[in-house]
Amino acid sequence: MTFGEEESFKKPVKDTFEEEMKLEIIKDKMNEISEKIDSSEKKPIVEKPEKKKFQIFLDTADVEQIREAHSWGILDGVTTNPTLVSKTGRSFEECIHEIVSIVDGPISAEVVSLDAEGMVKEARELAKIHDNIVIKIPITPDGLKAIKVLSQEGIKTNATLCFSANQAILVAKAGATYVSPFIGRLDDIGHEGMQVVRDIVQIYKNYGFETKVIVASIRHPLHVIDAAKCGADIVTVPFDVLEKMVKHALTDAGIKRFLDDWAKVPKK
């Protein structure tokens, strides 16, 4: 018997058994890991794209229009401004209080101060009306200052009167909840408003900006289609555009034909 064999012979049986058990456990673990790797290779993980919700806001301060649109079951929010409120002949506070009682969604109310301090003061008062109030602030240097302060205080903001992707970048960095590019007004002066929206959507996607895009100053239903196709989050439309969206000549003709044919059916 050699020295090595003698040492092996002297090794306790218990220690040898424990070592063999440990080796078996290690083998089992390795087999388990190998099976998982093979399974993952056979079944590649496919990430589901995040679902994006397209929302429709009504751009008005007319309470009757808001009630009608709300009754259709498609209204997600409302945007107002001083011009729209002035058309109602009612006080600003009266309009806003009634609107929030109808629509359970974001309601944009605009400040009229031009300095950051005044904007912030107005915004804080408006935010007290209801949790759904969003403060519309024009894109100016003072507007950016106000947006930054309000975002830090948890007050939602809508950066309004946006006419360029550059402006949209700045308000996103300042912390705006929403940005409203005015496409109709750009079209009016010979620019392609929807191209600005496409640029903003792409830039926000590139860098993960959380600011949502509200396509505003909409003139006709095609603007809505273009906004949805390019990935904008929201459109805010006048009531007459909303009415045009639901109408189609072939739908009307079809209804008339059905009713005419039904009139020919013998009745008991």
CB neighbourhood size of 87 (10 A): 10
Q: Which amino acid belongs to residue 184?
A: G
CB neighbourhood size of 173 (10 A): 14
Helices (H) and strands (E) in the chain, counts: 13, 8
Q: Could you give the angle at which helices 141-152 and 116-127 cross, rounded to 10 degrees?
A: 40
Catalytic residue selected from 136, 148, 156, 212? 136
Q: 113: closest CA among 146, 159, 160?
A: 146
181-184 own/partner pairs: CB under 8 Å, 24+ apart? 181/213, 181/214, 181/215, 181/216, 182/216, 182/217, 183/215, 183/216, 183/217, 183/218, 183/223, 184/217, 184/218, 184/219, 184/223
Decide: 76 and 55 in contact? Cβ < 8 Å.
yes
Residue 136 catalytic?
A: yes
Decide: 193 and 169 in contact? Cβ < 8 Å.
no
Q: Which amino acid belongs to residue 39?
A: S
H helices of 72-182, in order, are 82-86, 92-102, 116-127, 141-152, 165-174
Residues known to be catalytic? 136
